[in-house]
Amino acid sequence: MLKIRLLRTGRKNRPFFKIVVVEKQRAPKSGKFIEDLGNYDPLKKELKIKEERIKYWLSVGAKSSPVVHNFLVKKGIIKGKKIPVHKKKKEEKT
Domain of residue 40: give its range: 2-75
Residue 94 has pLDDT above 70, yes or no: no
23 lies in some domain: yes
Q: 79, exposed or middle or buried, with CB in 10 Å at 0-12, 13-18, 19+?
A: exposed
This prediction has a pTM of 0.83
Please compute Rg for the chain using Cα positions.
15
Q: Which of 1-5, 10-14, 26-30 has the lowest mean pLDDT?
A: 26-30
What's the CA gap between 15 and 5, in Å, rounded? 15
| pLDDT given for residue 41 in this prediction | 96
**Residues 15-43: tens digit of each pLDDT:** 999 999 999 887 767 778 999 999 999 99
Domain count, the chain: 1
Q: How confident is the model at residue 51 (pLDDT cuts 50, 70, 90)?
A: very high
Task: Report the CATH number at residue 62.
Answer: 3.30.1320.10
Q: Answer whether residue 19 is part of any domain.
A: yes
Question: From CA 18, how far away is CA 35, in angstroms rounded?
Answer: 10
- Report whether pLDDT(92) > 70: no
**Maximum Cα–Cα distance for the chain, whole Å?**
53
* Separation between Cα atoms, residue 21 and residue 15, nearest integer Å: 19
